[in-house]
Every structure is written in C-alpha cells, then in structure tokens.
Amino acid sequence: MIAELESGIPRHQARLLANEVLTSPEAAEEIRELTLELDDPDFQFEPGQSIAVIVPGPHELGHAEHVRFYTIADAPLPHKGKPVVEICVRRCEYLDEFSGERYEGVASKYLCELEKGAELTLAGPVGLAFEVPEDRTANLLLIGLGTGIAPFRAFLRHIYRNLGGWEGQVLLFHGARTGLELVYMNDHRNDITEYVDEETFRAIEALSPRPHWNEPPALEDALKAHEEEVWRLLQQPGTWTYVAGIAEVRDMLDRVLSEFAGSEQEWARRKAELVAGGRWTEILY
C-alpha cells in the first residue's frame, strides 16, 4: 500500500529491535519481520490496521519523503513502557518496461537493510480494523496470499490469545509460490501451527503448481476443492469474511464465488449483503 500521507495522521519515532528473515535461504523471495519499538507510550492499534513507514529523501521527482503502509502483524497486548509492533516486509523489485532495468523498491530496500538499533519515523495507525464479532460462535473465513498473512496472524493471536479462544469455525486459506515462501508457516517460523490444536481452527495451503514457470499460487483451486464448505459458510448469517493480500485476489474471488453462486449477479447480490452487514472486510494493495 503506497500512498500520500494525509495530514493529521500522528507521527512517531521508533527504534528497530529486530530484523529477521522469515523465508528459507533457498526461497525465491525474501520476506522479513521487523520488530519496532515506538517512543509514544500511548500508541494503540487494532488487528487489521496498518502503520506507515516514512523513508527520508530526497527521492526521485523531488519528493522529500517516500511513504509505504504495512499491515501490523501482531495483536495488541497490554504493555508497560514503550509499545512494540511487528510488520512483514517483502523485498521488492520492479522492472522498467522500456529500459528492461530492474530497480529495488524504495521502502523494502530501506527496511530490509536496516540494522538493529536504527531510528526511523512511523505514522498511524491507519485503516479499518478487522472487526471482531461479539458472538464467539461466529464463523471466520480468512483468505489471503503472501504477506497478506500478516493481518491474519494478528487476528488469530487476538482471538486465541487475547480473547482466550473461539467457538465458531475459523478457516484460513493462505498461499505462496512455493512452500519456501510461506510466511509464519515454514521451518523458520511456524507461528500459525500453534493454533492447529484448536478444535475450531483449520489452515489450507495453496501453492503454485508450476513455480518455475512463475504460475501464481493455486488459491482458486484450493477454494474450489472446498466449494461446498466455503459456500455453506458464506450462506450462514453467522459468518464473517476477511480478505488480505494483492488486489488481484479480489477479482479471483469474484470469479470463483460467482461460480459457486451460479451467476455473477447472484454473487454480487450476496456480497453486497455481506458488505452492508459489515461481514466482508478487505485489506488489499
């Protein structure tokens, strides 16, 4: 999520406590977790919200600052002293279509190469939080790709750790190009597996069938393999759906769920009902 920073959003000074690689050394992508300590003792956030990282310039086109938003990857906890947040950062590269040259992402390069103890400027929090249903028997359908797992990690920690558990069904669909790029679900960091002993939680992985050909994760196939269950959940008044990751996920979901519903019109109607009822939330970039 890259955007101009609106006036009125509070800024905070922070210090880098840790900069850890989450993916395997053999992975095609480098994804890191940064742990940041904020100077403001009153800083508060909710699961699903983001924090802006402000990269000092000057930058191209004369910009004094470069701003990049990252979803906070941990649940809020009561704290004594300075609050701490974690963000998930993928090292990005961009290909110039005219010159063929590759350029590193400004914010990801800045963050991935920060050393422990570095000072940086943040702003926020911003964005709509993942609203947690008051009814703990509600079903939760979580769908995301890549670093889209970050808000779900925070959400799962919140409902199982802060709230003490969840009685409704919690179904997570998450994927990456290969198992080496799975975040919080690999040999280095297996945070999500701490919930597999919960009777209400289940995670379904979606990997690319042909990663060497740069085919995307087979999230569509994973959803279709569980069509009956997914559509049953979406029909129930007690189901809340949360979507996170790249913007293309929305188009894929609309296409697949239109098939489940029998037509684009029927899915559009059902989705409108979910949105109007506050039971469909998207964090896309």
Sign of the CA dihedral running 162, 282, 168, 200: negative
Residues of the chain where predicted confidence (pLDDT) is lower than 70: 1-7, 61-62, 78-79, 95-97, 100, 176-190, 196, 207-217
Identify the three-state secondary structure at position 124. Answer: strand
Sign of the CA dihedral running 106, 110, 112, 113: positive
pTM value?
0.81
pLDDT of residue 62: 66
Rounded to whole angstroms, how far apart are CA atoms 127 and 137? 26
Q: Which residues of 108-138 are buried (b: 16+ CB within 10 A; e: fewer)?
A: bbbbbebeeebebebbbbbbebbebbeeeeb
pLDDT tens string 83-95: 999 999 988 877 6
31-38 and 139-145 as β-strands: parallel, antiparallel, unpaired? Answer: unpaired
pLDDT of residue 178: 58
Sign of the CA dihedral running 166, 170, 175, 180: positive
Task: For residue 231, report the phi and psi dihedrals to the nearest 5 degrees.
Answer: -65, -35
pLDDT of residue 170: 95
